[in-house]
Amino acid sequence: DGPTVSAIAAAARDVNAVVHAGSIIERDEDGDLWNTSVVIGPDGTTLARYRKIHRFGFGTGEPKLLQPGREIVTFDLAVPEAPGRTVRVGLATCYDLRFPELFRQLLDAGAELVLVPAAWPVARVAHWTLLGQARAIENQVVIVAVNTTGTHAGHEMGGCSQVVAATGQVLGDLGSAATTLIVDVDLDGIARAREAFPVLGDRRL
């Protein structure tokens, strides 16, 4: 409820949209810091908050500065074109993409679509693209992976934001330019993909 989230909530109300504000640095009442994503509804209310579980830095950087999140976070997002219908959305952040067990738990929590904001460097952008597609294929979920461009603390960022269907088909992707990607997602296609290739029913672990 600080100034950053308050400003984004006001913007969400102004454009009457659901806004994913991810991620920001959150300071809690004890003074601890977290890498936090917040999803805000069109009325400015908070729909979900996710504190990043996997901190990047191999013992430095985030592990030194920030607390690790502990909660798997999903929320039900209304589908405006289909009154009364919702889609369950899971939240992850950046480095989380390297940990498939998180996405399995999001799947088990009912997620059909997962949002992944990131600041992923150009040096490993091929991993970013491949891992986003792998998480979609192995869990039969839609992955909306949004990566920053330009530079971040002197490091060149990779861009290459993408939306990947539950079948693994890339529905839209961007290069390194700072621009906008608009993709229509066939939500019914998620169930069709799972029915046509019912791999999830063969899980043993």
- The pLDDT of residue 1 is 82
Give the containing element (helix H, strand E) for 152. strand 151-152
What tens-digit pLDDT sequence spans the chain (205 residues)?
899 999 999 999 999 999 999 899 999 999 999 999 999 999 999 999 999 999 999 988 899 999 999 999 999 999 988 899 999 999 999 999 999 999 999 999 999 999 999 999 999 999 999 999 999 999 999 999 999 999 988 999 999 999 999 999 999 999 888 899 999 999 999 999 999 999 999 999 8
Answer whether 0.85 is exceeded by the pTM: yes
Residue 36 in 3-state DSSP? Answer: strand
Q: Which residue, among 80, 196, 186, 198, has the nearest Cα to 142 in the 3D structure?
A: 186
Residue 158 in 3-state DSSP? Answer: coil
As a whole number of angstroms, the distance between CA 45 and CA 201 comes to 37
Torsion over CA: 22, 181, 137, 198 (sign): positive
Largest CA distance in the chain: 49
189-201 residue pLDDT tens: 999 999 999 999 9
- The pLDDT of residue 72 is 98
Amino acid type, 55? R
As a whole number of angstroms, the distance between CA 132 and CA 190 comes to 16
Could you identify the residue written with the tokens 């986003």?
Answer: 132
Residue 86: φ, ψ to 5° = -130, 160
150-168 residue pLDDT tens: 998 899 999 999 999 999 9
Angle at which helix 125-139 crosses helix 100-108, to 10 degrees, equals 30
Q: Which residues pair with 115 in a beta bridge?
A: 91, 144
Is 33 within 8 Å of 67 (Cβ atoms)? yes
